[in-house]
Amino acid sequence: MKVGVLLSGCGVYDGSEIHEATLSLLALDHLGVEVQCIAPDIEQHHVINHLTGAEIPEKRNVLIESARIARGKIQALNTVNSDDLDALLLAGGFGAAKNLSTWAFAGADSDILPDVKHLILTMVHAKKPIAALCIAPTVLAKALQGSDIHPQLTVGTTTAPSPYDITAINAGLNSIGAQTIMTTVDGIVIDKTNKIITSPCYMMEASIAQVFVGIEKTCTALIDLVRESTTP
């Protein structure tokens, strides 16, 4: 069984959230599945100094920076054949909303990278499960916008502290056809019909151990869905 892990750079503010990506690789390894890291071979939207939060006048490539998390073992998105994958996981971090889509800047009116949309739609149409962490459910919603699929997903809850405006993100997601469900950091949402699993991770104020709880549940549910569909 092979799971694609879609990355979007290396660092929470301009790429993949490093803890979420790394802990997904750990949880998937614990589950005994093969992992294929994937990232688009495109320029990052921008580069953020993670110490100050300021933009740096540099250019970095999403595939090359994602390779830091993947220890060099990563495949360019435009060379991925979804036939080779049994499931897909999208790590979070602003890279999902800056490089894979432009949600961070335009919300529900954002664009999505065509190769990302294509991979997600191909997986969904093949009834292969997809997991998305943190802000990455917005990428799924953008990919499915305008289709007859209305995924149930979560980007967190307003009942616990979050650095982000969960109400506004939910409104944006609902406006393009997704159904949002409030969930705490240790929870997941499983959309059994569409085989989509989501967990809030660092959308909430959370410790790394709390984030790992959600990621372990997410990965377990993802692999369970693969096994259910492949069991005769």
Residue 134 bears catalytic tag: yes
Q: What is the DSSP string of 85-130?
A: -SEEEE--SHHIIIIIB-HHHHGGG--B-HHHHHHHHHHHHTT--E
Given the residues 10, 37, 134, 219, select the one marked as catalytic.
134
Give 16's Cβ-side CA count (13 Å radius): 33
Q: Does 64 bind a copy of itself (CB under 8 A)?
A: yes
The residues in 201-230 that bind a copy of itself, with binding defined as CB under 8 A, are 202, 207-209, 212
180/48 Cα distance (integer angstroms): 29
Structure tokens at 98: 């800056």
Q: Which residues of 58-70 are buried (b: 16+ CB within 10 A; e: fewer)?
A: eebebbebbbbbb
- Which of 74, 108, 135, 139 lies at the binding interface for a copy of itself (CB under 8 A)? 74
Q: Does 7 bind a copy of itself (CB under 8 A)?
A: no
- Which of 5, 8, 19, 218 lies at the binding interface for a copy of itself (CB under 8 A)? 19
- Which of 6, 25, 88, 123 lies at the binding interface for a copy of itself (CB under 8 A)? 25
Q: Which residues bind a copy of itself (CB under 8 A)?
A: 10-13, 15, 17-19, 22-23, 25-26, 29-30, 49-51, 53, 58, 63-65, 67-72, 74, 202, 207-209, 212
Residues assigned a catalytic role = 134
